[in-house]
Structure 1
């Protein structure tokens, strides 16, 4: 799989972070052969504040330079923000106009051959059992605008190290990080059509359904409660504990 060279800042991050992750986690990665060549949108479920590091570990080992949509507040940090910008991360601004600019930047990156990771939920799950919530439309917007694949990535295990909305790390015993790459979500019936909210919701639900099914296979169980609406977040923050 041919990938362009990593930015220098990303090479430095990898040099320091990857050895730590190799020591602190075990890995159960499957489906790497399904990753397309060229640019595409990678769409993972969101379980923990550690997700970007653990997903990046998987991507780096597949020869892919990690590139995320990152909160603009992180980009504003004096040192961390400079590192993120030099590593070619894409800032996400909260205003409607800013969000549109972020998606345009993501579209340009994918069209230029980059792999851009966009969490469809937009935030860490608040489901008490850590199932995926409903999704926002950013990931499918970029995939449909570029005509490039929308690849679901299911992860399970980060919540055992740092569960949602908690500050308590549980590094030992070492936790297994399960990663499953699915076939690109079939959006062929939606391509070339006006990107209405109804169409985008249909595509997003298709993506979230896929991630949920992939997680159910790894966990050996099905969700026992309705999916949380990410737009309302009516339930309390996740109380899931490993």
Structure 2
């Protein structure tokens, strides 16, 4: 646990509890020691702040590598904060870079710490639960960490994408019983096993979050929504231009 994280525990954490009064259930499922992998839906950047309140143990999370390499004094400050919070930089371009990010995450679990991951890979564009990527399953099967599903509600109303100032909203996080994958532990799982475990994780998250499930990756959904918005804007602007 870093010095910055300790400082935030006695400053920011009490303030968040006092202002938003988030509700948590199932905290008894988190072991006091040993590796723990918390798998949750992803609605907002605020998810990180509220997840950090569910246990006294330090929770590391994965953050896109761009946060660690921004230019200028502000960029360096942001990078320092993310490092201080124990964030793990991950390259979301895929391939070898993505696997390297999983390696850093795996080490956290092998050090008997707590790691929270969002299997969707990015924030939901519309509040629904999207198809999970297999990174969380790979970590679970390689480390044997206790896997705790979590359903987050309300954070999308606290901080929407692109907004700076948080808003008041009801936030709730429900933690489920540990998922048992002990019969499938391996450092080299095949694709079928990874998909089966991932889908089991997503079903557990859905049961806790109450979201509608979409059998599509959130990154693809975001791309399609952006293309649709661009097309509508072009069609709307066409007659005006004429």
TM range (shorter): 0.7 to 0.9
Is 1:185 matched with 2:179? yes
Q: Is the 8 A contact 1:131 1:212 kept in 2?
A: no
Give the 3-state SS of the residue equivalent to 2:50 in structure 1. helix
| The structure with more radius of gyration | 2
Note the 1:42-81 alignment, pairs <5 A: 42-58=38-54, 62-76=55-69, 77-81=75-79
Match of 1:121 in 2: 120
Q: Is the 8 A contact 2:123 2:218 kept in 1?
A: no
Match of 2:103 in 1: 104
Match of 1:31 in 2: 26
Pick one of 210, 216, 219 that aligns with 1:228: 216
Note the 1:158-177 alignment, pairs <5 A: 158-163=155-160, 165=161, 167=163, 171-172=167-168, 175-177=169-171
- How far apart are the structure 2 equivalents of 1:141 and 1:231? 20
Structure 1 residues 91 and 135: alpha-carbon distance in aligned structure 2, compared to 1, 3 A threshold: same
Return 74-83 or 107-116, whichever deviates more. Answer: 74-83
- How far apart are the structure 2 equivalents of 1:45 and 1:200? 18
For structure 2, list consecutive stretches of 5 or more residues without a partner in the other structure.
70-74, 227-242
Q: Aligned-pair distance for 1:168? A: 7.3
Structure 1 residues 227 and 168: alpha-carbon distance in aligned structure 2, compared to 1, 3 A threshold: farther
Q: Aligned-pair distance for 1:190? A: 2.4
- How far apart are the structure 1 equivalents of 2:172 and 2:86? 26
- How far apart are the structure 1 equivalents of 2:83 and 2:162? 27
For structure 1, list consecutive stretches of 5 or more residues without a partner in the other structure.
1-5, 217-221, 238-242
Q: Is the 8 A contact 1:34 1:182 kept in 2?
A: yes
**C-alpha RMSD over aligned residues:** 2.2
TM-score normalised by length of structure 2: 0.81
Q: Is the 8 A contact 1:139 1:150 kept in 2?
A: no
Give the 3-state SS of the residue equivalent to 1:121 in structure 2. coil
Note the 1:205-220 alignment, pairs <5 A: 205-216=199-210
Q: Aligned-pair distance for 1:169? A: 5.1
Count of residue correspondences:
218
Match of 1:240 in 2: none
TM-score normalised by length of structure 1: 0.81
Q: Is the 8 A contact 1:50 1:162 kept in 2?
A: yes
Q: Counting helix residues as a fraction of each chain, which structure ranks higher?
A: 2
Match of 1:138 in 2: 135
